[in-house]
Every structure is written in structure tokens, then in C-alpha cells.
């Protein structure tokens, strides 16, 4: 074990003060070490989810294993809005105006701010509710879920780490997800989203304050995955926006390559520029 010099610094944030912290660069990096301020050195190392030591740590057997292909079916989700998340929360005025404009475009048979058609990622939560499979691999330290469309990926870290410091981890469309088990439920909290060109559903955008808490269970003897989303975004709506969605297991298939290609999209009637309202 290498002991680095004691680093003493204090920062004040909202009335709190942080004292001295001993950094220890070793085989077992501390998960909660503070990020040094700018110019004061590298951040503490977070053990990778695939590090041999991290994988080998003794952990309780999880109540279920999500490894498999999960298909989103409109038929299974008629009660929750299918590709929307109904009922809606009370939208703030700016979001309400966008939503109303989106509904008008949809009634006219047009797309509205079709960023997916322009090959932007759907991001969470929509990446989970596409009509292509979600290939899911569960390890003791992480769940890796790859949506076939555009190969969008989300990682749910299970190794006890805190959220990554936004000072050192860029915002992303899939967000920063950490999960833990509560009985028969996987509880996942996701933060640090990229808000540009990122929508919950048609016409409802997110801000950088968007947060999702998910409660995930397996039902029907492991054939159904059920995920209850609790979404908050004080910039765009009031309170909690709750919605439960379901997927069925379909393991007799593997996902394939499916890039978003602008020249392909220009030939598809639903994604060509003529159908998009901005």
C-alpha cells in the first residue's frame, strides 16, 4: 500500500465544511474520497466494475438475475401510455408549451423535434422502451443493458460506489446509475443527465436536474421485468412523475447491429425531414 502525503483542504458549500482526507492509492480504492479541487491533482481511483478484485469481493447472492433479452411490448403496456408515460405530472409553463406544440404536430401526423430521427440518442428512459430488444448482462458489480437501436448502453453499478462526481464525469444520455437490493427489488438511482436534445416523451424535455429512481422486480417466474420509474425535474414539472412499465423475456435471439444512419433515415417516411416540426 502506498501512502500519499496527507492532503488538507477545506471547502464550504451551503454551510458545510470538509476537513482533511487521507488518500490511499492501493488495491482497494476508497469509493467516497473527495475530488481534489482544480489544479490539485488527479481524482481518487474508482475500481472498475470489471476489475478482478472488485468482481471477487464477497457479496450476498442477488435475489434475481436480469441477464437476458428484454422486449418492450405495447400490448403489455396499454395501461401506462405505451411509449408515453401517462398520466402526466403538472408541467411547468415552458414544458407545457412545448408539450402542447408537440401534441398539435402529432395530430397533424408530423414528428416534433425528432432528435432520434436525427440520430441523437434517445437516452433514459426511452432507450428501454424501443421496439428492439434490450440485451442485458448482470455481473456482481454492474448490470450492462444494451438497446439494439443505436447500441445505446446504460450501466447500473452494483458495487456500492456513490454517484460519480459531476466535476469529473461528463453528463450523459443514459445518466449515472447506481443500484442496490431491497428485498426482492433492485432500486436504481440515476442522475447527471445530458439535457440537450433529450426528451422523456414527445414534447417533454429534461433539464440537468432530471433524476430517475427505479424499482425493478421480476414477475411471472422470471418471464416479466417490471420497472416503476419515479422521475423528478423541478425545472420542467412539479413533484414526482411515476410510471410502471413491463418487458417480456425473449432469449431465443441476439441483438444485431443497428446504427442510426442519416442517409437511411432520409428514405424512411417517419424520419425524413419533411415530417419533422421544430
Partner 1 sequence: MFDREKEVTIKGTVQEFAFSNPHVSIRITAVDSKGVAVDWSFEAASTQALVRSGWRKSSLKFGDTVTIVGHPLKDGRPGALLMRATLADGTVLQGATGENY
Closest contact distance (angstroms) between CB of 73 and partner 1 is 6
With CB under 8 A as the contact rule, which of the stretches 15-23, 176-184, 193-201, 262-270 interacts with partner 1? Answer: 262-270
Residue selected from 66, 91, 111, 142 as contacting partner 1 according to rule CB under 8 A: 111
The C-alpha atoms of residue 232 and residue 237 are separated, in whole angstroms, by 7
| 220 contacts: CB under 8 Å, gap ≥ 6 | none
Chain centroid to Cα 138, Å, comes to 16
Between residues 31 and 131, which has the closer beta carbon with respect to partner 1? Answer: 131
- Identity of the residue, 35 or 265, whose beta carbon is nearer to partner 1 in the bound complex: 265
Q: Are 133 and 125 in contact (CB under 8 A)?
A: no
User: What cell was used for 80?
Assistant: 401506462
Contact residue for partner 1 among 81, 132, 189, 224 (CB under 8 A) = 132
Q: Does 264 bind partner 1 (CB under 8 A)?
A: yes
| 110 part of the interface to partner 1, by CB under 8 A | yes
Within 8 A by CB and 6+ apart from 189, the residues are: 163, 177, 178, 179, 211, 212, 213, 214
Q: Is 142 in the site for partner 1 (CB under 8 A)?
A: no
Q: Does 221 bind partner 1 (CB under 8 A)?
A: no
Q: Using the rule CB under 8 A, which residue among 22, 26, 268, 273 binds partner 1?
A: 268
Q: Write down the least CB distance from residue 220 to partner 1, Å.
A: 16
Least distance between partner 1 and beta carbon 24 (Å):
47
Q: Does 149 bind partner 1 (CB under 8 A)?
A: yes
Listed residue (170, 182, 261) closest to 208, CA to CA: 170
* Grid cell listed for 37: 479541487
Q: Which residues contact 111 (CB under 8 A, 6 or more apart)?
A: 105, 117, 202, 270, 271, 275, 276, 277
Residue 159's region, left for phi above 0, alpha for psi from -120 to 50, else beta, is alpha
Q: Closer to partner 1 at the Cβ: 152 or 194?
A: 152
Find the binder of partner 1 among 3, 31, 131, 137 (CB under 8 A).
Answer: 131
Residue closer to partner 1, measured from CB, 109 or 183: 109
Q: Catalog residues that contact partner 1 under the rule CB under 8 A.
A: 71-75, 108-111, 131-132, 148-150, 253, 256-260, 264, 267-270, 272, 274-275
Amino acid at each position: 500500500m502506498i501512502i500519499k502525503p496527507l492532503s488538507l483542504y477545506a471547502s464550504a458549500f451551503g454551510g458545510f465544511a470538509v476537513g482533511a482526507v487521507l488518500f490511499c492509492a492501493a488495491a482497494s480504492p476508497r469509493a467516497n474520497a473527495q475530488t481534489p479541487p482544480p489544479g490539485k491533482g488527479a481524482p481518487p481511483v474508482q475500481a472498475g466494475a470489471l476489475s478482478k478484485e472488485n468482481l471477487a469481493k464477497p457479496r450476498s447472492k442477488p435475489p434475481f438475475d436480469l441477464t437476458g433479452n428484454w422486449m418492450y411490448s405495447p400490448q403489455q403496456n396499454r395501461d401506462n401510455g405505451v411509449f408515453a408515460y401517462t398520466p402526466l405530472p403538472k408541467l411547468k409553463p415552458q414544458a407545457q408549451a412545448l408539450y402542447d406544440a408537440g401534441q398539435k404536430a402529432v395530430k397533424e401526423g408530423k414528428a416534433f423535434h425528432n432528435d432520434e430521427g436525427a440520430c441523437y440518442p434517445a437516452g433514459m428512459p426511452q432507450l428501454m422502451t424501443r421496439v428492439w430488444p434490450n440485451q442485458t448482462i448482470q455481473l456482481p458489480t454492474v448490470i450492462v443493458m444494451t438497446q439494439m437501436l443505436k447500441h445505446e448502453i446504460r450501466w447500473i453499478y452494483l458495487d456500492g460506489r456513490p454517484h460519480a462526481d459531476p466535476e469529473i464525469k461528463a453528463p450523459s444520455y443514459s445518466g449515472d446509475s447506481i443500484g442496490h437490493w431491497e428485498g426482492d427489488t433492485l432500486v436504481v438511482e440515476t442522475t447527471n443527465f445530458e439535457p440537450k436534445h433529450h426528451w422523456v416523451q414527445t414534447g417533454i424535455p429534461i433539464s440537468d436536474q432530471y433524476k430517475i429512481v427505479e424499482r425493478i422486480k421480476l414477475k411471472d417466474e422470471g418471464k416479466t421485468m417490471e420497472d416503476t420509474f419515479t422521475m423528478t425535474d423541478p425545472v420542467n414539472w412539479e413533484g414526482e412523475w411515476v410510471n410502471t412499465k413491463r418487458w417480456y423475456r425473449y432469449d431465443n435471439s441476439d441483438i444485431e447491429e443497428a446504427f442510426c444512419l442519416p442517409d437511411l433515415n432520409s428514405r424512411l417516411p417517419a424520419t425524413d425531414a419533411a415530417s419533422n416540426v421544430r
